[in-house]
A and B are shown apart, each in its own frame.
Chain A
Amino acid sequence: MFPELNNLLNTTPDQAEQGKLTLLCDAKTDGSFLVHHFLSFYLKANCKVCFVALIQSFSHYNIVGQKLGVSLTTARECGQLVFLEGLKSAVDVFFRPQEEPHPLQFLREANSGNLQPLYEFVQEALKPVDSGEAAWRCPVLLVDDLSVLLSLGVGAVAVLDFIHYCRATVCWEWKGNVVALVHDSGDAEDEENDILLNGLGHQSHLILRAEGLATGFCKDVHGQLRILWRRPSEPTAQRDRSLTYQYKIQDKNVSFFAKGMSPAVL
């Protein structure tokens, strides 16, 4: 996790808020550093994490996780992390008997079905276990990413319904958190993606939007992060609704600074 980002969000692993949906989006840049941040953040916060990883392999996330101080292998072995490796298990769908439910069942269906099997997988993974001792703090669902589901033929409304159900179960019923990444297509007219992005925006409590600089690539400033708080828990709380910072991604850290205040420039 990136300590500077924690400061901007005014949170620490010990005081992580519960029952929230966080939307990560990126436009003209790669926002996956936010996924790595939240993965390591919630593992350090002693939460049970279900990671639906559709983009990269397990070893990729593990290598990055180790730089950020968490071991995904250890977490998986002790039951803290449930990892759905999309790239590997997508192939399994076709080599199993059709009767056995599979989280990525929609790949087999000709018409864009719903994501109920995936929701049931998440439900099974994060279900609170009545073992007496409260092992983990709260359940967390992390999805990287939802835009690829649209590319695989699932409709935007089906993805919204999946997140709706995850929010109802994980956030409301079990007081956990959901974090999901959606890519913003920007200029390309992708109506389904816009519906997904805006629909999730309305459901979210916190939106982190990583944008490339309008002026193009820069060696010292990799992009701009816009933080938007929605639906504050106390209606009268005087909280900054929206903040914008620029950032630079380094090997084991991401540094944030106010616009135009990059150390390289000053």
Chain B
Amino acid sequence: MLESLLALGGLVLLRDSVEWEGRSLLKALIKKSALCGEQVHILGCEVSEEEFREGFDSNINSRLVYHDLFRDPLNWSETGETLPGGPLEALRALCRRTDPGPVTIALDSLSWLLLHLPCTTLCQTLHTLSHQDSCHGDSSPGEQVHVLGLLHEELHGPGPLGVLSSLAQTEVTLSGAMGQASAHILYRRPQQRLTHQMDPTTHLTFNLRLSKKEREAKDSLTLPFQFSSEKQQALLCPGLGQATSHIFYEPDAYDDLDQEDPDDDLDV
């Protein structure tokens, strides 16, 4: 299931609630990415680095880079330990990172960023972040950027939730019943954009082309139900070589032949 969540690339939105938390799924996806050899950058706003790294063995932890926005995100302590520029600058720095190779960026959490940054700015930055492979001209199509965003549904209105949904390639909503958690997964296939127009008639097993003679014959063909000027003349002047039609009718013993018109008395 985890592979299919990471298959499409782009933004993977994990929607959780107070009762059904999503951080463990986020950590599972991070572990999967790290085991595939990817480097993982985590923008941590809600839990400490120690707490986040709990449960990962040293092999995985060595592939995780934790950008700490937990200790002093708003620079209240003024010790200079904060990431300079605050949360927005930290996010933009992730966009600008130039180390090669496949990478996963985890945002813990998108809700914290949405509460502290304007929605439009955050969405623009997210879009840039998840489409980084198109910026690097020489990167192979196989090197996707995965952006994993943890979102606490109850904290936001339908507007911001809808916008983030539309930006996401994959959306997982966590819920549950009777003590059992469940996940609802929505995949959004990306728009098929053709890089160049292909001729569809090449490489077929049958012939779609016409020779010159065939084309002439096709053009001079009159279709039987097409109303042309010849047909019009033929209908208007029936005497020209056309036999008049006659109906031969043999009535049965049970037929009631009445030559009178039954609708004669209608005043129409």
Q: Which residues of A contact B76 (CB under 8 A)?
A: 116, 119-120, 165
CB neighbours (8 Å) of A116 from chain B are 76
Q: When the two chains form their complex, are residues A198 and B152 in contact, meaning their CB atoms are under 8 A apart?
A: yes
Complex: A194 Cα to B156 Cα, angstroms: 10
Which of these, A157, A194, A235, contacts B24 with CB under 8 Å?
A235
| B154 in complex: contacting residue of A194, A203, A228, A230, CB < 8 Å | A194
A228 to B51, CA, bound (A): 20
The answer to whether residues A199 and B55 also contact, given A207-B18, A231-B21 and a CB cut-off of 8 A, is no
Residues on A with beta carbons closer than 8 Å to the beta carbon of B155: 195, 198-199, 202
Could you say which residues of chain B place their CB within 8 Å of the CB of A241? 179
A161 at the A/B interface (Cβ < 8 Å)? yes
* Interface size counted on chain A using CB atoms at 8 A: 26
Instruction: Report Cα–Cα, A116/B51, bound state, in Å.
Output: 25
Asked if B152 and A202 make an inter-chain contact with CB atoms under 8 angstroms apart, the answer reads yes
Whether the pair A161, B74 counts as a contact (CB closer than 8 A) is yes
Majority-rule SS of B interface residues = loop
Task: Indicate whether A172 reaches chain B with its CB closer than 8 angstroms.
Answer: yes
Shortest distance between the CB of B15 and any CB in chain A (Å): 12
Q: Is A168 an interface residue (CB 8 A)?
A: yes
A201 lies within 8 A of chain B by Cβ: yes
Measured between beta carbons, the chain B residues less than 8 angstroms from A168 are: 48, 70-72
For A240, the closest partner residue in chain B by CB is B179
Q: Contact: A202 with B21, CB < 8 Å?
A: yes
| A198/B154 contact (C-beta < 8 A), A160-B115, A203-B46, A207-B18 known | yes
Given contacts A194-B154, A241-B179, contact A202 B70 (CB under 8 A): no
**Of A119, A157, A203, A242, the contact of B115 (CB 8 Å cutoff):** A157
Complex Cα distance, B116 from A199, in Å, reads 13
Residues in chain B near residue A242, CB distance under 8 A? 19, 179
C-alpha gap A24/B106 in the complex (Å) = 30
Min CB distance B58 to A, Å, is 17
Q: Give the residue name and chain of the A residue nearest to B179 (CB).
A: A241
Across the interface, which residues of A come within 8 angstroms of B71, CB to CB?
168, 172
Q: Select from chain A the residue with minimum beta-carbon distance to B70.
A: A168
Determine how close the nearest CB of chain B comes to the CB of A7; give it in whole angstroms. 22
Q: Which residues of B contact A230 (CB under 8 A)?
A: 18, 21
Scan residues 163-186 of chain A and give those whose CB is less than 8 A from a CB of chain B.
164-165, 168, 172
| B21 pairs with A198, CB closer than 8 A | no
Q: Is the CB of A202 within 8 A of B179?
A: no
Q: How far is the CB of A242 from chain B (nearest CB, A)?
A: 8
Inter-chain CA distance A202–B155, complex, in Å, is: 10
Instruction: List, in ascending order, chain A residues with CB within 8 A of B51's CB.
Output: 172
Q: Which residues of B contact A119 (CB under 8 A)?
A: 76
**Bound complex: CA of A73 vs CA of B154, how far in Å?**
41
Cα separation A101 to B59 with both chains bound (whole Å): 48
CB-defined interface of B39-80 with A at 8 Å, one 1/0 digit per residue? 000000010101100010000000000000011111010000
By Cβ-Cβ distance, the 10 closest A-B pairs, closest first, are: A201-B18, A198-B154, A172-B48, A157-B115, A202-B152, A116-B76, A168-B71, A198-B155, A195-B155, A199-B155
